[in-house]
Amino acid sequence: MHKPYPDTTDESGQLVRGRSALHQALDVTQQIQRAKVLSGPDDSVGLLLYNVDTLRTINAEEMKRLAKLMQTAKEQYEAQVDDEAVETIEPEILRETFPPIEESHEMNIANVIQTCNFLFRDGEAVDYNEDQPDPDGLSSLADLMKDLVIKTSPKRSHFHVPLKLGKDGEIVIGVSGYSMVSEQSKGASRYVKMRGQAVEEVQTKTEYTSAETGAVLKDSEIGHAYEFGNEAEVRNLLEPNPWEAQAKERDKNKSQKAVDHVLEDDKERRQREDEGEDLEEEGEDDKKGIEEWLGKQKAALPKIVARTRLQFSNEEVSQFRSMGIEPQIKILGFQAASHLRFQDNLKHPFFIYPNEEEYTGSTRTFAALLNSCLKYNRHALALCRLRSNHVPEFCVLIPQEEKTSSNGQEYPPGFHLIILPYKDSIRPPPRKIIELLQSPPIATDEQIDAMKAVIKRTRFKAAAYRPEIYPNPSLAYHYDQLQALAFEEDWDPEDPDKQASDKTMPLYGGMHSRAGEFMEEFNKEIENDERAVEKLTGPTKRAKAEETTLNEWDLRNIPDMWEKGTLSQCKVQELKDWAKYYHVSLQGKTKKADIIDLVSEHLSTNKDDFAGASTKKAKK
């Protein structure tokens, strides 16, 4: 376990020191932990070393301790003399941390292997490789780490719904849908509390308040509304709030008091009139007052407006979205593959597979449906509602036949479920594209041949794009930063190893070496085409204004203003003219503050040369 393996040489001839089995195993464990902390932080990872320690869940402190151990081992390992004559020894830190047991207490490995062979062989013969009777388990460890895909999204089903066949859904089976392609995101950030002994996640809570009173609204006081029209202020169509009811009650009481007051005045006026008093002028005034009061009351009535904001309850909104259809896949019919159009694919497809948990016999029925569609080259048109929060959609079920190879199954049998668009989802192409397609510009034979040569020499080696060999560089950049922050390590974006991991960078050198000559030939063909002259001609540059001769007496007295500390009052052009006349380099500066600093520095260095400039100019 502690004995280093023989030294080797790399491709460049450099000596590569052999590492012990313990050293390699710890290094691989560290790599797996660094990857698992992002994709599966709840997973348990451990290295099986007999009689050492128990397994522990991944955490930052354990990973820091292991990283520090491996860093110390690496330094001791690289500190050895780079000479083949010097024997490689294991780093001392590993022997101190994992001391070997005494020879008298060593375990008999032969007994362990014999016991495992008896318990786990299950009565079957064990293959024996005569070419390599004693294989080295660590030799393929590096290859295994290269093939190990850690940063992948977990495979889980997106929905479990019944699939119905027949006139009224007489045949029902259970199916599950899986997403074969899903964009891997960086993950949502969380709010945490940084104070205290440990970092704790903050629980978020959302509350809605009234814009008028600031009071917290209950769920029963909040409804869904849709704008319909341009009217901004409308009456509340829901049940009035308590404060609104109180306001209406107060307005009603005021109106009643005003009416009682008018009736009392009218009654008093009639009594006085019966007693023989002359109340003609006073009656006219009272009549005008009553009319004015009635006009104000009429104006105070609530304005009746169009019902422009339609409001519904949660149950009504849910009913509108579902159209009364339960989550299901209902097959409506079958059609030929020629009716499919590539541009009708709106979203990522789902792959559906039978599910026996809800309906027994789903696998047999599903297999019969799949084989029939493959036999007659048909696909199913269905009405789908995949989840309770989804709206009903039309979709097609495209059958896929199982394909196997020497490595096992390559394509499983099942249906690809593709969502189809509605009429409202289709957008017409731009008018310019329609005109271009109706009368496309015809390329010459020379241009076509030149482009053929370019395409022929810039093709993929595999003749196809393989997404499995192109990891997302943005995610890798994000993960590297998180790991460096979690392990308190230095992070350098200019690290050659990090830049080499970006497989999406185009190989410009290889492209130009293979097709550079043909690209130049194609460009010449385009430039020589008379139809492309107008489009290839660049914008006309404005003629450069004639330079005016600067006169010393037309310049501002910059030295005098510098001595007084008033250079900030000068314009930028005045400072530039003075610097140009006296050959003061502005070093490409354009900001006024930078120009003032350069001019001040020049004047302070050559103060004697400008001592009589202000006096001379004043005499003139």
Please state whether 361 falls in left (phi above 0), alpha (psi between -120 and 50) or beta. Answer: left
Q: What is the mean pLDDT of residues 486-515?
A: 78
In the chain, CATH 2.40.290.10 sits at: 157-183+321-425
CB atoms under 10 Å from CB of 602, counted, come to 20
Model confidence at 8: pLDDT above 60: yes
Would you state the structure tokens that stand for residue 53, as one six-digit string?
Answer: 């320690």
Higher model confidence: residue 297 or residue 136?
297
Q: Which residue has the tokens 């050959």?
A: 583
Higher model confidence: residue 492 or residue 338?
338
**Cα dist. 126→112, 245, 342 in Å?**
16, 87, 52
176: pLDDT confidence band, cut at 50, 70 and 90? Answer: very high
Greatest mean pLDDT among 141-150, 207-216, 326-335, 471-480 lies in 326-335
Q: What is the mean pLDDT of residues 304-320?
A: 67
Angle of CA points 19, 21, 27, to nearest 5°: 75
185: pLDDT confidence band, cut at 50, 70 and 90? Answer: confident
Please tell me the distance from the alpha carbon of residue 126 to that of residue 113, in angstroms, as a whole number.
Answer: 13
CATH class of the region 432-534: mainly alpha
Specify the CATH architecture of the domain 157-183+321-425. Answer: Beta Barrel (2.40)
Q: What is the mean pLDDT of residues 287-292?
A: 63
Average pLDDT of the chain is 75
The pLDDT value recorded for residue 162 is 93
The rounded Cα 370 to chain-centroid distance in angstroms is 36
536: pLDDT confidence band, cut at 50, 70 and 90? Answer: very low
pTM greater than 0.75 (yes/no)? no
Model confidence at 21: pLDDT above 90: no
Q: What is the DSSP letter of 389?
A: T
Cβ-proximal residues to 525 (8 Å cutoff; 6+ apart), any chain? 444, 446, 447, 450
Would you state the structure tokens that stand for residue 531, as one six-digit string?
Answer: 């139809």
DSSP 3-state of 215: coil
The pLDDT value recorded for residue 33 is 72
437: pLDDT confidence band, cut at 50, 70 and 90? Answer: low
The pLDDT value recorded for residue 309 is 57
Model confidence at 604: pLDDT above 90: no
Q: What is the mean pLDDT of residues 386-409?
A: 89
CB 555 within 8 A of CB 581: yes
The pLDDT value recorded for residue 296 is 64
108: pLDDT confidence band, cut at 50, 70 and 90? Answer: low
Cβ-proximal residues to 444 (8 Å cutoff; 6+ apart), any chain? 525, 529
In the chain, CATH 1.10.1600 sits at: 432-534
Of the ranges 109-113, 417-421, 446-450, 484-488, which one carries the lowest mean pLDDT score?
109-113
Would you state the structure tokens that stand for residue 41, as one six-digit string?
Answer: 């932080």
> How, if at all, do strands 192-193 and 393-400 pair?
unpaired
* Full 3-state SS string of 519-572: HHHHHHHHHCCHHHHHHHCCCCCCCCCCCCCCCHHHCCCHHHHHHHCCHHHCCH
Please tell me the distance from the alpha carbon of residue 226 to that of residue 228, in angstroms, as a whole number.
Answer: 6
Mind listing the pLDDT tens digit for each residue in 361-383? 899 999 999 999 999 999 999 99
